[in-house]
Structure 1
Amino acid sequence: MRSRHDTSHDFEAYVAGAGARLLHTATLLTAEPPTANPRARRLLTLALAHTYADWDRLRGGDPYDHTRQYLATRFANTAWHHPAARLRNRARQDTPLARLTPQERLILVLRLYEGIAEEQTAALLGMPAERVRAVFNRAMAVVLGPPPRPAPAVGGVKAVAS
């Protein structure tokens, strides 16, 4: 039986090796700037706490995969089911990822940055693979397309101050 000290040491080594990549994934999901990412840090902290709680039960399983799965499902549950979170994301339209819906961003990050196959992404999110493919293609079109331009000004019409 492993001691609590061994478990803590192993977990600390895991976080030292995988923490930066997981934080980058969380930052991509929240579409926050890398230097100001409190939501991403909170998301990662919750995912790492969940992994630590399950550490002894992982027994040869992949802790990175375990943490990433929790990170993705926690993000999905928060972003998809809480309108205020969606509105906060929409307020920052300065990056291509911020222009995506939370679902589009999650699928794009899992498929491109994390390299997860379409079928695995579908299984993780409980969606048909065809839906994942459609969302991914739409997200790619948004990210690769030109940013939206402001509407042209209408000549001779002035805005009325209220």
Structure 2
Amino acid sequence: MRERDAAQQRRRAREFEAFVAGAAGRLLHVSTLLTAEPADANPRAQSLLVAALAGAYARWEFLRGEDPYDRTRQELAGRFARTSWHHRRHRGGPLGSLTPQERLVLVLRLYEGVPEEQTAALLGLPVQRVRAICARAVSHVHARRHAPKAPAREVVTS
């Protein structure tokens, strides 16, 4: 009995390691977009991802045919939504000026391609609200991207 349990644990660990090897890069990018941190300095994004992966590992044997990437992304989004008060400040980057909720909806809908209905269910919002948040976020990012840049100020030395 112990040998069988040990063999199952090793198999579970190998499967999870293979999943992480394939999905961690993309999930880290999602997490970095959500936290609006720079890609080369993203401790909150990394912490968020580690917590989501730990939750995924804890439930690994209970997935029973579910997509592990989808479940981990849901865990990541849920953790971000619960801790978004940490991520309120403007941090830069293309999504840094958005609210945490706008970043979450925009990343799920456009970067991850999650349908409106699933995004709404995940966030506990009506579909129309998700649609409005996404449209506002896209408009804000587009306007910010195409806004005229302020001319550089010349420094005059005497």
If the length of structure 2 is used for normalisation, what is the TM-score?
0.85
TM superposition shift of 1:59: 1.5
2:102 equivalent among 98, 101, 104: 104
Q: Which moved more, 1:54-63 or 1:1-10?
A: 1-10
1:131 equivalent among 108, 129, 132: 129
Q: How many residues align?
A: 144
TM superposition shift of 1:61: 1.1
Partner of 1:85: 87
- Give the conservation status (yes or no) of the 8 Å contact 1:118–1:133: yes
Structure 1 residues not aligned, in runs of 5+: 151-162
Partner of 1:51: 56
TM superposition shift of 1:85: 3.5
Find the residue that maps to 1:97 and give its secondary structure: coil
TM superposition shift of 1:25: 0.4
Question: In the alignment, does 2:78 pair up with 1:73?
Answer: yes
- Give the conservation status (yes or no) of the 8 Å contact 1:119–1:129: yes
Letter in 1 for 2:78: T
Partner of 2:32: 27
- Give the conservation status (yes or no) of the 8 Å contact 2:87–2:100: no
Letter in 2 for 1:101: T
Letter in 1 for 2:21: A
- Give the conservation status (yes or no) of the 8 Å contact 2:105–2:133: yes
- The CA RMSD over aligned residues, in Å, is 1.8
Structure 1 vs Structure 2: percent identity of aligned residues? 58
Partner of 2:111: 113
Provide the rounded CA distance (Å) in 1 between the counterparts of 2:132 and 2:10.
47
Q: Which moved more, 1:140-149 or 1:122-131?
A: 140-149
Provide the rounded CA distance (Å) in 2 between the counterparts of 1:132 and 1:49.
28
Structure 2 residues not aligned, in runs of 5+: 150-158
1:62 equivalent among 54, 61, 67: 67
Partner of 2:14: 9
TM superposition shift of 1:95: 2.1
Letter in 1 for 2:103: R
Structure 1 stretches of at least 4 aligned residues deviating more than 2 Å after TM superposition? 146-150
Provide the rounded CA distance (Å) in 1 between the counterparts of 2:87 and 2:99.
11
Provide the rounded CA distance (Å) in 2 between the counterparts of 1:97 and 1:46.
22
- Give the conservation status (yes or no) of the 8 Å contact 1:105–1:139: yes
- Give the conservation status (yes or no) of the 8 Å contact 2:35–2:87: no
